[in-house]
Structure 1
Amino acid sequence: MMPVLPIQSIATTEERLHLGRLIVLTGPSGVGKGTLMRSLLKRHPELYYSVSVTTRSPRPGEIDGKDYYFISRSKFEQLLTEGEFLEWAEFAGNYYGTPREAVLNQIHFGKLVVLEIELEGARQIRASFPSALSIFILPPSFDELEKRIRDRAQDSEEAIARRLLRAQEEIQAADEFDIQIVNDDFETALNDIETVLFK
């Protein structure tokens, strides 16, 4: 395992090393950011995708260690106390967090590191990593977002209502981010992300 590199040591070596960059992808639940991320990684295997830790249950087809690290609430809280997360948030009754060590090491060794995280976590990253590039994925309309969430058929009516209420708040925060991309046509949105990352 590579040694943990404190943020200070990364900053002081910036002139001597070709450092990578942190890319943050966020947007409301149901906007398609996970699907965009998977396609982006298929096209660009050189990107380092930071797998998040969560306390929610796996959805059908999700694989532990690939889609998320699925852990218990008590284990998450233990890791949180130990300072193991670069950012974390609670969303729809579950915790989500980004493991600190792997991200810092990959940036140090010149990788483009991509995080797909919730708004609260993205704000934490902006505060601690001002040089991070932040991208906000928007739906073409709120009605379309609701349709996408309902079409997944994975949530109770109560959970859908919570997600939609949260989505309204998140969409209002889009201007806080460096780039806003509307996921209306999937290929267009994916190409827009590629243009931002590799122009």
Structure 2
Amino acid sequence: MANLFIIAAPSGCGKTSLVKALLKNSSNLCVSVSHTTRKSRPDEVNGINYHFVSVNKFKEMINKNAFVEHAEVFENLYGSSRQLINDSLENNKDVILEIDWQGARQVKLNMPKVTSIFILPPSKDVLLMRLQGRGQDDRQTIMKRMSDAKNQMSHFDEFDYLVINDNFDVALSNLESIIGQSNKDFKHQDFSLEVQSIKHKNLLKKLI
């Protein structure tokens, strides 16, 4: 039976790059392409990166209960299509939702059989460096993202698993291990929230 996964992280933690690598290494895994009201960037393709829709269209979909979750992030609306997710699951494809903690709460109410994973940076300094290194945002936007990151990270304890993205290859291996265990009747204890919270308690205090 196919599985549904939530992967959440503050902006700059490398979530998108990790998910791309996961997809490259697995033929039975896909990402649910979100709907959004934000403007597309020059390198983005409608239907591939996002389904870009108007605010009116998005609100119409909300009224029709078309989303398993939706939220406003940085003044734009984002939502995950119930139909697209169910279509993939019915085709025996494991599905990843790249969403935040607000969306994760909603999905757990709508689709209880979901595995949730939260990705954290190894430090605030590294997170800031990564945001600056992307070259996508001005200083004001980066500071706003850093402020939002603290709020995002404070909800890490609402997730099933915790992964620290200090080394990309190690973080990828950890994610692959968690997803590979999804058909088992037990948690992969190395990366469970309980174990990781104890292992990284000093880091968690500094981040939050």
**TM-score interval (norm. to shorter):** 0.7 to 0.9
Aligned partner of 1:15 in structure 2 is none
Q: Match for 2:154: what amino acid?
A: Q
Q: Match for 2:129: what amino acid?
A: K
Aligned pairs, how many?
181
In structure 2, distance between residues paired with 1:72 and 1:145: 32
Shift of 1:162: 2.2
Choose which of 41, 49, 52 in structure 1 pairs with 2:34.
Answer: 52
Aligned partner of 1:89 in structure 2 is 71
The reply on whether 1:182 has 2:160 as its aligned counterpart is no
Gaps of 5+ in 2: 182-208
Root-mean-square deviation over aligned CA pairs: 1.5
> Any idea what SS the aligned residue of 1:67 has?
coil
TM-score by length of 2: 0.81
Report 1 or 2 for greater relative contact order, CA contacts < 8 Å, sequence distance ≥ 6: 1
Aligned partner of 1:33 in structure 2 is 15
In structure 1, distance between residues paired with 2:62 and 2:111: 19
Gaps of 5+ in 1: 1-18
Choose which of 161, 172, 177 in structure 2 pairs with 1:195.
Answer: 177
Whether contact under 8 Å (1:40, 1:190) holds in the other structure is: yes
Q: Match for 2:78: what amino acid?
A: Y
TM-score by length of 1: 0.85
Choose which of 125, 130, 145 in structure 2 pairs with 1:148.
Answer: 130
Among all aligned residue pairs of Structure 1 and Structure 2, give the percentage whose two residues are the same amino acid. 39
Shift of 1:109: 4.0
Whether contact under 8 Å (1:92, 1:162) holds in the other structure is: no
In structure 1, distance between residues paired with 2:151 and 2:165: 18
Q: For structure 1, which segment, 104-113 or 20-29, has the greater mean C-alpha deviation from structure 2 after superposition?
A: 104-113
Report Cα offsets for 1:69-98 as digits up to 9, x if no partner.
Answer: 112222212211221111111101111110
The reply on whether 1:102 has 2:51 as its aligned counterpart is no
